[in-house]
Amino acid sequence: GEMERRRLHNTIQELKASYNGNIRVFCRVRPLVDGGLSKHIQLPTNDIKTITLAKTEESHTGKTADTQKNYNFSFDRVFGPAASQQEVFEEISLLVQSALDGYNVCCFAYGQTGSGKTYTMEGDEFDVTRGVIPRAVQQIFRAAEKLATQGWEFTFTASFVEIYNETLRDLLYTGKASKRPEHEIRKSANNEVTITNLTYEKVSNEDQVLGLIALANQNRSTAQTAQNDRSSRSHSVFQLDIEGVNAGRDVKCKSTLCLVDLAGSERMLKSQSQGERFKEMTAINGSLSNLGIVISALANKESYVPYRNSKLTYLLQGCLGGNSKTLMFVNIAPESDSFGETLNSLRFASKVNDCVIGTASANRK
Ligand code: ADP
Ligand code: MG
C-alpha cells in the first residue's frame, strides 16, 4: 500500500545516494580555533569523499630530504571546516525522514574530546548553529503534520540517558538528587528494549523537545561540577520513539530515532589512568570498540551480535540491526598535536565503513 510505496521510493533514493547499504560514515573536520589552515589535513576540492593526513618526517642528518607519508581515507562524505550545520543536516535529512516510515535510525558522533561531537549533535544556542538533534526533531514534527492530512496520527515519546562507567543515568530526572533511582535495561518478549525507572516523556512539538534538551543539559552540568569533565567521558543517548497509525488505511508503523553523542575516543596514558580514571578508560574503550564490533557484525549479517557486551549496544539493540539505518560521524580536530588521535579516529571509522572490525565470533565469550 501507501507505506510500501513510500518505503520503496525512499529506498531507491537512498540506494542512489549511497553505495554502502544501511551503514554510512561521514567525516567532519572542525575548524581551527584561530581560523587558520590545518597543515596536515588535506581535502581535495574535486572529491567530497576523501581526506588525507600528511605526516612530514624531518631529516635529522641534513643529508637527505624530508619525507612525507600520506594516510588516505574515504568515507561516504567528508565535510571540511567550512561546512555549515545546515549543509551537514541536508545530507542526513532523508535518513531522518525514514524514521517516520517505520525504520529505526541511529546516528552517532565519534571522536576525541574537543573534536566537535556535541557541536554536531546539539549545536549551540543560536538558530543557524543548531545541530542534528533539534533539526531532526523539527523535521519530524513538520513531516508528521503533513502526514496528518493523509490520515496519519503519530505519538512521540522522548527519553535522554547518559551512560557513565557502564551505569545509566536519567537526564530527564527532575526529582530529588537523593532519591535518584537506579536503572536496568530490560528486553521484552517482542525484543523491545526499555529502561526501568526512566522518564519517558510524551511530546507533540519541537519546543517541548527543546525544553527536554535544556533539562538534560542542566542535569549534565550538575553532575559535571561534582566530577570535572565528566561529559566527555560519558555517552549521551537521545531517543524519540515514534508510533504512527492510519486508521482509514488500517496501517501502523513504529520506530525509534536515536541520536548519540559518544564519550571521547582519546586514549589515555597508562600513567594518567589509575583508580577511577582507569575504570573510566576501560569502560569507554570497551563500549566504543564493542560498538564497532556490533555494527560490523550487523553489516556482515553475522548470526551472533554481541549486543550485551556493553550497556550502550544493549540499550540500542532495538534500533540497531533489523531494518535500521545507521550513520556515524567521525569528528576530527585539525590541530597538529591531535595528529595521533585523528589517525586513530579515522582508522576506527574506516573499519566501520568497510565493516571489517574484528569478527563477532572472535569476540564471543
Ligand atoms: P566534543 O563534544 O567533541 O568534545 P565540542 O562539540 O564541544 O567537542 O567542540 C569543541 C569546541 O569547538 C566548541 O567550542 C565548539 O563550539 C567548537 N566547534 C566544534 N565544531 C565546530 C564547527 N564545525 N564550527 C565551529 N565551531 C565548532
Ligand atoms: Mg561534547
pLDDT in tens, the chain (365 residues): 666 666 666 655 554 444 345 889 999 999 999 888 888 999 998 999 999 999 887 777 777 777 889 999 999 999 999 999 999 999 999 999 999 999 999 999 999 999 999 999 999 878 899 999 999 999 999 999 999 999 999 999 999 999 999 999 999 999 999 999 999 999 888 878 999 999 999 999 999 999 999 999 999 887 777 776 778 899 999 999 999 999 999 999 999 999 999 999 998 766 666 777 888 888 888 899 999 999 888 888 888 999 999 999 999 998 888 778 999 999 999 999 999 999 999 999 988 887 644 333 333 33
Residues with CB under 5 A from ligand 2 (ion): 117-118
Nearest to 188 by CA among 324, 321, 317: 317
Dist. CA 316–CA 352, nearest whole Å: 17
Dist. CA 364–CA 278, nearest whole Å: 24
**Confidence at residue 271, expressed as pLDDT on a 0 to 100 scale:** 60
Instruction: Kindly state if the Cβ of 116 falls inside 6 Å of ligand 1.
Output: yes
Burial 2-15 (b: 16+ CB within 10 A, else e): ebeebbeebeeebe
Ligand 1 atom 16 nearest Cα? 119
Dist. CA 334–CA 16, nearest whole Å: 31
In this prediction the pTM is: 0.89
The set of residues, in sequence order, having a beta carbon less than 8 Å from that of 281 and lying 6+ positions away, is 267, 268, 273
Give the position, in ligand 1's atom list, of the atom nearest the Cα of 119.
6
**Distance (Å) from CA 160 to ligand 1 centroid:** 21
Dist. CA 185–CA 183, nearest whole Å: 7
Nearest to 333 by CA among 342, 325, 324: 342
Helices (H) and strands (E) in the chain, counts: 8, 14
Give the position, in ligand 1's atom list, of the atom nearest the Cα of 261.
2
Dist. CA 333–CA 41, nearest whole Å: 10
Question: Which of 26, 28, 29, 30 is the pocket-test mutation for ligand 1 (most atoms within 8 Å of CB)?
Answer: 30
> How long a stretch of residues is the chain?
365
Please name which ligand lies nearest the alpha carbon of 338: 1
ipTM value: 0.99
**Confidence at residue 362, expressed as pLDDT on a 0 to 100 scale:** 32
The cell for 84 is 555549515
Nearest 5°: phi and psi at 57? -100, 115
Q: Across-strand partners of 278? A: none
Give the position, in ligand 1's atom list, of the atom nearest the Cα of 121.
6
